Amino acid sequence: MPRPRKPHLHRERNRHRTIVWYVRLGKGPRVRINGVYGTPEFEAAYRAAIGGEPLRAAGKAASGSIAWLWLNYRQTNKWTNLSLATRSSGKTSCEEC
């Protein structure tokens, strides 16, 4: 007999024929679970989605990458001396980096 699925866990096949897992509580928004089913990373992401916690960032940007350069520039005086309007007008926010 197959192992029953965890509560609120849904499996879908996307247009690329890849299996994707989502958590959906009631009629709320779906939260995508990254990782391979059954791994510790998958379990941690599932528990975070059920608890309503935001997922942790993957970590710092790799040294020498564009994201690393951008994050370091934002810590300099040149960046902090700019007005808030100037900082927000660039539309190059790196919040998802």
Q: List the pLDDT tens digit at each of the 97 positions of the chain.
A: 677 888 889 999 999 999 999 999 888 888 898 888 888 888 888 998 888 776 655 567 788 889 888 888 888 888 888 888 887 775 554 554 4
In a domain, 13, yes or no: yes
In a domain, 43, yes or no: yes
Shared-domain flag, residues 32 and 65: no
0.85 cut: is pTM over it? no
Spatial contact of 68 and 62, defined as CB atoms under 8 Å apart: yes
Give how many domains the chain has, as a whole number.
2
- d(CA 73, CA 59) in angstroms, rounded, equals 18
Tokens 């190059």 sit at which residue? Answer: 92
Please give the structure tokens belonging to residue 12.
């879908």
Shared-domain flag, residues 43 and 20: yes
